[in-house]
Amino acid sequence: MTYAQWVILRIINRLQIKRISVKNARLDWGKFHQNGNKDEEITPAAVNAVTVGAGQTTDVSSCGRSDAPSGTEGTLDLYDGDTKICTLYWNCPWGAKYTDFRIQDGNWDSYTLSAGGPKSNIGWSGALGEIEVEISKKA
């Protein structure tokens, strides 16, 4: 039922030589799952082990639970070493007429952050889709 409520966070690392790491992954609703397989649930701890090499792209996927009217809602933080870059927030509720995605607590003085992409569905009903989150260092 709510596998139709999903999001793929496509993290694009434009930092020249540094890795981006995921920390503090948390879900209020739904589950994290293996990319491409909504039936293969993974833990927040597994998501917290995700890193994105310089010039690389990595996906983090979440969806609602099968046969449960919940959708998916959660947050995760992105870090450059010990420096917090931002928090990503998403809400893709079941049965609602909207979705929500935000970059929160952005370190805008040091990083350029953007989100969207041609396969995203921010603000509309249904799945959030594939949200491209691009991170680069300001000069």
Tell me the CATH number at 20. Answer: 2.60.270.50
Task: Quickly state the pLDDT bin for 3 (edges 50, 70, 90).
Answer: confident
- Render pLDDT for 21-73 as a digit per residue (tens, 0 to 9): 999 999 999 999 999 999 999 999 999 999 999 999 999 999 999 887 889 99
Average pLDDT over residues 87-106: 93
Question: What is the pLDDT of the chain when averaged over all its residues?
Answer: 94
pLDDT of residue 2: 60
The range of the structural domain enclosing residue 95 comes to 2-137
Task: Quickly state the pLDDT bin for 16 (edges 50, 70, 90).
Answer: confident
Please work out, in degrees rounded to the nearest 5, the angle formed at the alpha carbon of residue 102 by the alpha carbons of 77 and 115.
Answer: 90
Q: Indicate the DSSP class of residue 95.
A: T
Task: Quickly state the pLDDT bin for 82 (edges 50, 70, 90).
Answer: very high
Task: Quickly state the pLDDT bin for 112 (edges 50, 70, 90).
Answer: very high
pTM for the full model? Answer: 0.94
Count Cα atoms within 13 angstroms, Cβ side, for 106.
19
Distance of CA 86 to the CA centre of its chain: 11
The better pLDDT of the pair 68, 80 is held by 80
pLDDT of residue 136: 97
| Count of the separate structural domains present in the chain | 1
